[in-house]
Chains A and B, each alone.
Chain A
Amino acid sequence: MVPILEMRGITKTFPGVRALDEVSFQVMPGEIHALVGENGAGKSTLMKVLSGVYPHGTYEGEILYEGAPVQFSGIHDSEARGIIIIHQELALVPLLSIAENIFLGNEQASHGVVNWHETMSRAQALLKKVGLAEAPGTLVDKIGVGKQQLVEIAKALSKNVKLLILDEPTAALQENDSRKLLDLMLELKAQGVTCILISHKLNEVRYVADTVTVIRDGRTVSSRPARSGLSENDIVRDMVGRDMSQRYPDRDRQAGEVLMEVTGWNVWHPDHADRHVIRDISFDVKAGEVVGIAGLMGSGRTELAMSIFGRSWGRQISGEVKLRGKPADVSRVDRAIDAGMAYVTEDRKALGLILEETVKFNTSLADLEAVASRGVLDDMRDIEVAERYRKALGTRTPSVFQKVGNLSGGNQQKVVLAKWLFTGPEVLLLDEPTRGIDVGAKYEIYTIINELAAEGKGVIMISSEMPELLGMCDRIYVMSEGSFVAELPAAEASQERIMSLIVSE
């Protein structure tokens, strides 16, 4: 059989960096081909070469598509041939309807006048195909991320897609939406659409992929059929270049006295006064303990953490927070910080960092007084602090004067952690601390978390990845629809047990 796509000896260099080095990549028609690798391995660059974002002539090597060489000079060329990429950051216009988004740039119109009947009926048909039960006239910002992802796929289908490339499609999705999306991929495959799936989530890769190609440091490491006993560990070994049987570092598990205790916590939605988002939650964390909060996206995990941390979310907040047995004032962010709390957000770009500023600027931001005397900043102390945390956390950056926007996800996360560690917290609320970062950086973050626990701090870890909670935590609270439905010692917990607790509610 002739491959639908064959990329031969692709080399792409940027000033000073060889992003792709003689990469070869073959996709057979009608298969789902997973492309995996750590962040910065070159997956996205390869896909940009394929789609013409980097036009012909800016790279070396050859691309054969449907058996013939192709030279794309822009994304328009590749789309015309049925190659469509759906990026991680969705490219939908929030205030337009689903139908308008599907046909954006490809309007169902004659002589510039939109044929709304055609638009709506075709959109309806496409939505049916992707299994989305929403009216085509619904505004995109009224539906969740999972459904938006489906709209993107419907949009791709409207362009007669032959080769669909999905870049981290489930990164922002919760478990059941992810599953739906993966099932849709299998369905599309049955209809003859070829898919390339870029993903970090190896269980998903194993669920849908026929072939797995691993890229590391700009080179193809392996390309193997997935259906013949390829294990996750095999893939991980190829990704990081060594065995990673141990994905979670060990730690002495010793819990001390109760550090923080939250009782009777209730929160209502800030915009919808009748929505009771957090219902009567009580929990505690002890010194030296890592406590997990498991739950689906939308169960109120982030809302719980943010409402505790200086009432940063919600209204009509009631309940009591005690630190070391004494009632603590956490009614404003600065007071919560003073009381010894830190909240590491799940959305580091939007809520955690000033991307246009330097590592130095971001590191001291939450405790500027500590690098100033009488309100005047001491630049040298500021630099020392940034350097200290850069070394302690192993942040890879040319210098502390680098803009954090230029760092990789894992290193950005370390800067966010550095910012909060510098405030000297006793209790850390970590919200999805390893989201969107690669396997190697995850391990380093885990190590940091363990060190914090070993220092006697209390760590509360919110995560969508259950293996991570099971591997890291001493105790796990299970959250569903705004309430805690169970508390399990990690030793008694399993993915199945947690999931069944969540769904049984």
Chain B
Amino acid sequence: MTMPVQIESETPATGIGAYLSSHMRDYGLLFALIAIMVFFQIVTNGTLMRPVNITNLFLQNSYIIIMALGMLIVIVAGHIDLSVGSVSGFIGAVAAVMMVQLHLPVLVTVVATLALGGAIGAAQGYWVAYWRIPSFIVTLAGMLVFRGASLLVLNGQSVGPFPRSFQILSNGFVPDVMPAAVTKPLAAAVGAFNFNMLAMGIGAVVALATIWMGLRGRARARQYGMEKEPPAFFWVRNLVVLGAFLFLTFKLATFRGLPNVLVTMGILIVVYAFVTENTVLGRRIYALGGNLKAAKLSGIKTSWLTFLAFVNMGVLSALAGLIYAARLNTATPKAGYGLELDVIAAVFIGGASMAGGSGKIVGAVVGAFIMGVMNNGMSIMGIGIDYQQMIKGLVLLAAVIFDVYNKQKQG
């Protein structure tokens, strides 16, 4: 006996228009960033993309981005962490006391404070994961506790300056491999006082590697008959990315080269993107955020993974706190105030859902850059902090409305 075949599937969308509208989110975010950069480039008369400012942009936003990586995972898992700003400030304070007052070696300090960050994450994650106390409450408590703890540790005063070997965590640059004899003529040729070959080389390699991986993915997709992206889109997207990489590294190369913190950040972004998208661990985190009970009944250790997400968040908050302190070359009791909001905003602008189960690392990073470029651009323009806050708030709202609108349109 055979059953009648009912075709319940809708006809797959074809054509470039349909593709674009179904991937509005992905392209929209990238083009929004580019549009914002172009806009500020024009209104700041080219200040935005001067080599020194581009370098600054990376330095200013590195700690936001690093925390956004952890926050994305926490949010995908269906939680939130409000304590990251305070924790990063607290860690900066502890590091300052260890190095400046207790004269402990930098390496010991860094390792110990990262471990402390992990322990703080574990302490909060424990209640969330195993006692099912809402993360909003646990981390709100954490935010208050570590704000107070920073004051306590620092005795209400700023502590600094730090040893040089600690400052380079944030302010250092990767030295060039080429002798000055080679780079000086090049620098003269492009009209800059320096030309860092290493930075340019790494930029080019990363850009080409991105395209190569894109092509490989496409070839594999085609092999399985699941090619989706129209070729025009693929190439436009990749050429934009290639152009952006080369442009930015050229700017960096003509200043002081690759900032150390950019290298740290770049490696972390790649690692976290890989882990979330290509590993069993990542897949399980999306599953538990998407439907906790179903994930649990599929044999996934949901509590343990939730716990790990918070431990990871703690370590990344600690790293961000160290970078922040190193950048200011002093630990202040107010360090980290309100950072959690920037971090959370970056993740939501990047397309993550409050309900958990969706969002991408790349989205969070682009979201953080959108916030960062706006901060930077508006500051250059001399817009007051009052308007800056209001504009940022509206951008966050607009991004989420755009998301919801897209989802509704797709049904």
Q: Give how many B residues have a beta carbon under 8 Å from the other chain's beta carbons.
A: 36
1/0 contact trace for A391-406 toward B, CB 8 Å?
A: 0000011110110000
User: Inside 8 A of A17's CB, which chain B residues have their CB?
Assistant: 10
Q: Give how many A residues have a beta carbon under 8 Å from the other chain's beta carbons.
A: 54
User: Inside 8 A of B299's CB, which chain A residues have their CB?
Assistant: 310, 332-334, 336-337, 366
- Evaluate contact between A355 and B296: CB separation under 8 angstroms: no
- Evaluate contact between A357 and B280: CB separation under 8 angstroms: no
Check: A113 CB closer than 8 A to any chain B CB: no
Check: A221 CB closer than 8 A to any chain B CB: no
User: Inside 8 A of B278's CB, which chain A residues have their CB?
Assistant: 376-377, 379
A444 partner, pick from B3, B281, B287, B300, beta carbons under 8 A: B3
Check: A158 CB closer than 8 A to any chain B CB: no
B290 partner, pick from A246, A356, A397, beta carbons under 8 A: A356
- Evaluate contact between B283 and A361: CB separation under 8 angstroms: yes
Closest residue of B by beta carbon distance from A366: B298
Check: A380 CB closer than 8 A to any chain B CB: yes
A354 partner, pick from B12, B226, B357, beta carbons under 8 A: B357
User: Inside 8 A of A354's CB, which chain B residues have their CB?
Assistant: 286-287, 290-291, 294-295, 357
Report the minimum CB–CB distance from B229 to chain A (whole Å).
13
- Evaluate contact between A16 and B10: CB separation under 8 angstroms: yes
- Interface of B: prevailing SS: loop
User: Inside 8 A of B12's CB, which chain A residues have their CB?
Assistant: 398-399
Question: Taking A40-B6, A352-B294 as contacts, is the C-beta distance between A375 and B226 under 8 angstroms?
Answer: no
Check: B220 CB closer than 8 A to any chain A CB: yes
Residues in A334-373 with C-beta less than 8 Å from chain B = 334, 336-337, 343, 345, 350-357, 361, 365-366, 368-369, 372
User: Inside 8 A of B294's CB, which chain A residues have their CB?
Assistant: 350-354
- Evaluate contact between A408 and B296: CB separation under 8 angstroms: no
How far does the alpha carbon of A38 sit from the alpha carbon of B4 in the complex, in Å? 12
User: Inside 8 A of B1's CB, which chain A residues have their CB?
Assistant: 246, 249, 443
- Evaluate contact between A352 and B297: CB separation under 8 angstroms: yes
Residues in B349-404 with C-beta less than 8 Å from chain A = 357-358
Check: A200 CB closer than 8 A to any chain B CB: no
Check: A43 CB closer than 8 A to any chain B CB: no
How far does the alpha carbon of A379 sit from the alpha carbon of B279 in the complex, in Å? 10
Question: Taking A334-B301, A383-B226 as contacts, is the C-beta distance between A357 and B357 under 8 angstroms?
Answer: yes
How far does the alpha carbon of A399 sit from the alpha carbon of B227 in the complex, in Å? 12
Question: Taking A312-B296, A356-B290 as contacts, is the C-beta distance between A372 and B279 under 8 angstroms?
Answer: yes
Check: A139 CB closer than 8 A to any chain B CB: no
Report the minimum CB–CB distance from A89 to chain B (whole Å).
17
Check: A144 CB closer than 8 A to any chain B CB: no
How far does the alpha carbon of A334 sit from the alpha carbon of B295 in the complex, in Å? 11
B287 partner, pick from A15, A312, A351, A357, beta carbons under 8 A: A357
Report the minimum CB–CB distance from B409 to chain A (whole Å).
12
How far does the alpha carbon of A210 sit from the alpha carbon of B155 in the complex, in Å? 83
How far does the alpha carbon of A16 sit from the alpha carbon of B6 in the complex, in Å? 15
Question: Taking A333-B298, A352-B297 as contacts, is the C-beta distance between A377 and B10 under 8 angstroms?
Answer: no
User: Inside 8 A of B6's CB, which chain A residues have their CB?
Assistant: 38, 40, 217, 396, 440
How far does the alpha carbon of A376 sit from the alpha carbon of B291 in the complex, in Å? 22
User: Inside 8 A of A78's CB, which chain B residues have their CB?
Assistant: none
Residues in B1-42 with C-beta less than 8 Å from chain A = 1, 3-12
1/0 contact trace for A232-251 toward B, CB 8 Å?
A: 00000000111000100100
Residues in A240-271 with C-beta less than 8 Å from chain B = 240-242, 246, 249
Report the minimum CB–CB distance from A127 to chain B (whole Å).
33
How far does the alpha carbon of A372 sit from the alpha carbon of B11 in the complex, in Å? 32
User: Inside 8 A of A413's CB, which chain B residues have their CB?
Assistant: none
Check: A419 CB closer than 8 A to any chain B CB: yes
- Evaluate contact between B9 and A355: CB separation under 8 angstroms: no
User: Inside 8 A of A149's CB, which chain B residues have their CB?
Assistant: none
- Evaluate contact between B279 and A375: CB separation under 8 angstroms: yes
- Evaluate contact between A368 and B284: CB separation under 8 angstroms: yes
User: Inside 8 A of A217's CB, which chain B residues have their CB?
Assistant: 6
How far does the alpha carbon of A351 sit from the alpha carbon of B290 in the complex, in Å? 11
Check: A411 CB closer than 8 A to any chain B CB: yes
B280 partner, pick from A309, A337, A368, beta carbons under 8 A: A368
How far does the alpha carbon of A61 sit from the alpha carbon of B186 in the complex, in Å? 77
- Evaluate contact between A333 and B297: CB separation under 8 angstroms: yes
Report the minimum CB–CB distance from B18 to chain A (whole Å).
11
Closest residue of B by beta carbon distance from A338: B299
Residues in A108-136 with C-beta less than 8 Å from chain B = none
Question: Taking A356-B357, A396-B6, A440-B4 as contacts, is the C-beta distance between A333 and B290 under 8 angstroms?
Answer: no
Residues in B60-95 with C-beta less than 8 Å from chain A = none
**Most chain B beta-carbon neighbours within 10 Å: one of A354, A372, A396, A440:** A354
How far does the alpha carbon of A377 sit from the alpha carbon of B298 in the complex, in Å? 17
A343 partner, pick from B223, B281, B284, B297, beta carbons under 8 A: B297
- Evaluate contact between A351 and B9: CB separation under 8 angstroms: no
Question: Taking A312-B297, A365-B295, A377-B279 as contacts, is the C-beta distance between A357 and B4 under 8 angstroms?
Answer: no
Report the minimum CB–CB distance from A62 to chain B (whole Å).
28
- Evaluate contact between B280 and A369: CB separation under 8 angstroms: yes
Report the minimum CB–CB distance from A9 to chain B (whole Å).
24
How far does the alpha carbon of A205 sit from the alpha carbon of B12 in the complex, in Å? 38
Report the minimum CB–CB distance from B375 to chain A (whole Å).
32
How far does the alpha carbon of A206 sit from the alpha carbon of B193 in the complex, in Å? 90
Report the minimum CB–CB distance from A116 to chain B (whole Å).
33
Check: B131 CB closer than 8 A to any chain A CB: no
How far does the alpha carbon of A356 sit from the alpha carbon of B284 in the complex, in Å? 14
- Evaluate contact between A397 and B280: CB separation under 8 angstroms: no
Residues in A8-45 with C-beta less than 8 Å from chain B = 15-17, 38, 40
User: Inside 8 A of B283's CB, which chain A residues have their CB?
Assistant: 361, 365, 368, 377
Check: B132 CB closer than 8 A to any chain A CB: no
Report the minimum CB–CB distance from B407 to chain A (whole Å).
10
How far does the alpha carbon of A348 sit from the alpha carbon of B297 in the complex, in Å? 11
Question: Taking A355-B290, A355-B291 as contacts, is the C-beta distance between A396 and B298 under 8 angstroms?
Answer: no
Residues in B276-312 with C-beta less than 8 Å from chain A = 278-281, 283-284, 286-287, 290-291, 293-301
User: Inside 8 A of B293's CB, which chain A residues have their CB?
Assistant: 350-351
Residues in A278-327 with C-beta less than 8 Å from chain B = 309-310, 312
How far does the alpha carbon of A333 sit from the alpha carbon of B300 in the complex, in Å? 8
- Evaluate contact between A357 and B286: CB separation under 8 angstroms: yes
User: Inside 8 A of A399's CB, which chain B residues have their CB?
Assistant: 12, 226
1/0 contact trace for B261-278 toward A, CB 8 Å?
A: 000000000000000001
User: Inside 8 A of B10's CB, which chain A residues have their CB?
Assistant: 15-17, 398
- Evaluate contact between A40 and B291: CB separation under 8 angstroms: no
Report the minimum CB–CB distance from B273 to chain A (whole Å).
13
- Evaluate contact between A396 and B297: CB separation under 8 angstroms: no
User: Inside 8 A of A351's CB, which chain B residues have their CB?
Assistant: 291, 293-294, 297
How far does the alpha carbon of A351 sit from the alpha carbon of B284 in the complex, in Å? 15
- 21 pairs, A vs B, C-beta closer than 8 Å: A15-B10, A312-B296, A333-B298, A350-B293, A350-B294, A352-B297, A355-B291, A361-B283, A368-B280, A369-B280, A372-B280, A375-B281, A376-B280, A377-B278, A377-B279, A380-B223, A396-B9, A398-B11, A399-B12, A408-B8, A443-B1
Of all A-B residue pairs in the complex, the 6 with the closest CB atoms, nearest first, are: A354-B290, A398-B9, A334-B299, A366-B298, A333-B299, A368-B280
Q: A38-B6, A345-B297, A377-B279 provided; 10 other pairs, C-beta below 8 A?
A: A17-B10, A333-B297, A333-B298, A334-B301, A354-B287, A361-B283, A366-B299, A375-B281, A399-B12, A444-B3
